[in-house]
Amino acid sequence: MTELADLEARARAAGRPAGEEGLVVCENLVRVYRTDEVEVQALQGLDLVVTEGECVALVGASGSGKSTLLSILSGLDLPTAGRARVAGHDLLAMGRRERLGYRRSTVGFVWQQTGRNLLPYLTALENVALPMTYARVPRRARRERAAELLDVLGVAYCRDRRPGELSGGEQQRVAVAVATANAPRVLLADEPTGELDTAGGEEVFAALRRANEQLGATVVVVTHDPLVSGQVRRTVRIRDGRTATETLREQDGTGEEFTVLDRAGRLQLPGEYVERYGLRGRVRLTAERDHVGVWPDAPADDADPPGTSG
Ligand code: ADP
Ligand code: MG
């Protein structure tokens, strides 16, 4: 067994069981920012479950709470209320020591700003080896694993270069290696392709997928890029600090749309459906044996432009 595979196997064995409910579980998560007189509700009762092994894209308009959620999951920020558990850690109740260990080895993080992920005076290999120092991995093993990670992520040829000598896409792929150095259960990335061109973005996504498939990390990636959601199986859309809709894509390219029902029974329909079926204001519900139907209140008349029938 290679050093890399061995580390991964140990990391997974040590972490089990994470509970049957999911590796990442957020329930009714609230984060309120208070600045002087103003109060911003960045998260307003968000629900999210991510199962171990998944690769999930998180999308949503600017200001919808995506970065707030990722900061909480990374252990950097504390929610105001609700429940958040990751790999058996209660993020609302962690003490200082547990939080430190959590941030070092349970989660890995990739930021949007390429300059924020790597130390400029270290080579790619040294950058990847650095987090393992904190985990007390012996020097030789650190260098071996760092080299293996760079290889798996397609940037072995960058090992002796400093960040200034790398393209944005190469820097972000090295950043994925840094984030996975201590074999985290969860890899979080906040718009990691935001500063890159299309080709660079695709390479970084390929690296995230390898981190998921070959290194065994559960991946949650925030993205603005509509192309990206096509590359993952599950896309979760956050709207106004809550999860609104989910899309599950099957291997054959077909997709299934889901929406999240909150505690009060509210749900949000995908905008595309609202438009396609001409749903406006009051809609008609029908209770069927095994499902609920949603109908426009008045049957749409194709001959009439919208808004002229009432
Ligand atoms: P996204 O990443 O989806 O663009 P954010 O999570 O960054 O959204 O922000 C969600 C909301 O919270 C926004 O209205 C933003 O202005 C506000 N917000 C984020 N961080 C802070 C902060 N540190 N102080 C005050 N308001 C904040
Ligand atoms: Mg953001």
Q: Identify the band that residue 9 occupies on the pLDDT scale cut at 50, 70 and 90.
A: low
Residues 183 and 297 in one domain: no
**pLDDT recorded at residue 164:** 96
Residues 227 and 310 in one domain: no
Round to whole Å and give the CA distance between 277 and 258: 17
Residues 68 and 215 in one domain: yes
Does some domain include residue 303?
yes
Predicted TM-score (pTM) of this structure:
0.81
Residues 73 and 191 in one domain: yes
Q: Which residues contact ligand 1 via a Cβ below 6 A?
A: 33, 35, 40, 42, 60, 62-68
Residues 91 and 217 in one domain: yes
Phi, psi of 266 (to 5 degrees): -80, 145
**pLDDT cut 70: percent of the chain above it:** 82
Does some domain include residue 43?
yes
Ligand with an atom nearest the CA of residue 60? 1
Ligand with an atom nearest the CA of residue 42? 1
107 phi-psi bin (left φ>0, alpha ψ -120 to 50, beta other): beta
**pLDDT recorded at residue 88:** 93
Residues 289 and 256 in one domain: no
Residue 115 carries which side chain, given as an amino acid letter? G
Residues 231 and 305 in one domain: no
What is the CA(92)–ligand 1 centre distance, in A? 19
What is the extent of the structural domain holding 285?
Answer: 280-310
Does some domain include residue 54?
yes
Does some domain include residue 60?
yes
A 10 A CB-CB count for 52 gives 17
Does some domain include residue 9?
no
Residues 231 and 310 in one domain: no
Round to whole Å and give the CA distance between 170 and 155: 7
Provide the domain count of the chain. 2
Q: Which residues pair with 135 in a beta bridge?
A: none
Kindly state the tokens that stand for 260.
């999240």
What is the CA(118)–ligand 1 centre distance, in A? 24
Matching residue, tokens 């089990």: 16
Atom of ligand 1 nearest to the CA of 43: 10
The mean pLDDT value for 194-216 works out to 92
Does some domain include residue 70?
yes
Does some domain include residue 97?
yes
Residues 302 and 257 in one domain: no
Q: What is the pLDDT of residues 55-66, one digit of tens each?
A: 999 998 889 999
Q: CATH number, domain at 134?
A: 3.40.50.300
